[in-house]
């Protein structure tokens, strides 16, 4: 796997062409697609519905989502005819975070139990992971390439260089719905306890030194802290 050659080959392509090429070059059952159904999710999901209708979209149900997020998920599922596969934490561990209110004292552990670990249980079944990360969302994502190596998988960000204006134009062009909380001042939406209003991802884990849940952190520092 030569990341430099892959990035060079895919860089000139349009967003749709990138996704089409991945499905041409890799077996469908080896391609993992995930979505948070957050404020910027609609572009990748719409492209997927055009390029590979019916391909599974894995959604991590932490049990802490805003009702608006779940309603938005259902709306997009119906409009784009998506096949959604729910990924959930171990029931006992999830119950522990509820009773312990882990998000108040150790956000990293809460994310590990409810997001990272559940996804880790299925990632081994795939060879390439497609995600809708956007470079404008924060500094970490700004520095990502189209392809990177992540936990033994080839990670693919076909929309990483899509700008905020491009995203809004895409949404308008294809008449895609917006996440309901955008109109209330939420630029990014995660779990209820750790999401506040703010531009882009500025409202995520407000007032703590944390900008990623760990799923997309290439350094895997959260996982190392939890189990290393």
CA-to-CA distance for 203 and 179, rounded, in angstroms? 15
β pairing state of 83-87 and 153-156: unpaired
Please pick, among 111, 191, 194, 213, the residue that the annotation labels catalytic.
Answer: 213
Q: Report which of 33, 29, 24, 12 is spatially closest to residue 156, judged by C-alpha positions.
A: 33
What are 101's two structure tokens?
């209110």
117's CB contacts (< 8 A; 6+ apart) are: 89, 90, 93
DSSP label at residue 219: T
DSSP letters, 78-115, are: HHHT-EEEEE---HHHHHHHHHHTHHHH-HHHHHIIII
The DSSP-derived string for 124-136 is TT-SEEE----GG
C-beta of residue 71 within 8 angstroms of C-beta of residue 180: yes
CB 31: neighbour CB atoms within 10 A? 21
Strand partners, 7: none
Residue 110 known to be catalytic = no
The total of other beta-carbon atoms located within 10 Å of residue 67's CB is 9
Please identify every residue annotated as catalytic.
213
């Amino acid at each position: 796997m030569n990341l430099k050659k892959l990035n060079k080959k895919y860089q000139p392509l349009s967003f749709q062409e990138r996704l089409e090429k991945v499905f041409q070059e890799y077996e469908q059952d080896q391609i993992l697609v995930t979505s948070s159904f957050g404020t910027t999710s609609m572009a990748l999901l719409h492209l997927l519905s055009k390029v590979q209708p019916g391909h599974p979209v894995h959604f991590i149900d932490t049990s802490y989502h805003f009702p608006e997020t779940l309603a938005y998920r259902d709306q997009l599922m119906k409009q784009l005819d998506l096949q959604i596969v729910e990924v959930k934490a171990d029931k006992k561990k999830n119950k522990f975070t509820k009773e312990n209110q882990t998000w108040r004292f150790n956000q990293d552990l809460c994310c590990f139990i409810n997001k990272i670990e559940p996804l880790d249980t299925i990632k081994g079944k795939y060879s390439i992971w497609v995600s809708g990360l956007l470079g404008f969302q924060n500094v970490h994502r700004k520095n990502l390439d189209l392809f990177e190596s992540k936990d033994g998988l080839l990670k693919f960000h076909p929309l990483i260089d899509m700008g905020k204006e491009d995203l809004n134009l895409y949404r308008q062009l294809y008449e895609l719905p917006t996440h309901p909380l955008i109109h209330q001042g939420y630029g990014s939406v995660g779990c209820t306890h750790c999401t506040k209003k703010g531009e882009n991802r500025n409202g995520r884990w407000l007032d703590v030194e944390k900008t990623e849940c760990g799923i997309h952190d290439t350094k895997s520092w959260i996982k190392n802290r939890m189990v290393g």
